[in-house]
Amino acid sequence: MTGIDWLRVNLQKVLALPAPAIEWLLMLYGAIQVFDDVADGDAVERDDLNAAIWNTLGGMSQNTFWIANSQTLTPIVASMILKWQASDQAERSGKADARSFVWRAGYYDVVLMTVALCHGTQRATETAQQVMELYGETLEDYMKEFGNA
């Protein structure tokens, strides 16, 4: 099972999100993975690049979940981007630490707000730890990546 398949299963079965919300979250996830790979100079498969281009410039804006919730989600996505940029800057300047580790995972802020929008704040509160646990990287592994372990 790929990472995106594992994420899809959790969004469906654990968080019980509706299909349009899942598809939008997966489009966002795929795009940010491609953008991160490009920023890091990692190889990007052509199919992944094509999907990121389509999804960011066409697909995401046509998604019914996004259309209904864009006013709420836009500032959270913007915050996710700014947090990733700050984390990336810390990593590139040799200052990676626990703060940059947390900030690079802003995608899960978007997932948590999606749960709140779909199921209410009480359900978001109840599942917040499960959303947090979707982030598969550990601080220890992150720090090793930057020679800080």
Closest CA to 35 of 26, 24, 44: 44
> Mind listing the pLDDT tens digit for each residue in 16-48?
999 999 999 999 999 999 999 999 999 999 999
Q: How many CA atoms lie within 13 A of 132 on its CB side?
A: 8
With bands split at pLDDT 50, 70 and 90, how would you rate the model's confidence at 7? very high
Residue 149: the pLDDT is 59
The pLDDT value given to residue 3: 86
Give the pLDDT score at 46. 97
Does residue 2 have a pLDDT over 90? no
**Residue 140 structure tokens:** 């220890």
* Res 95: pLDDT: 94
146 pLDDT band, cuts 50/70/90, is confident
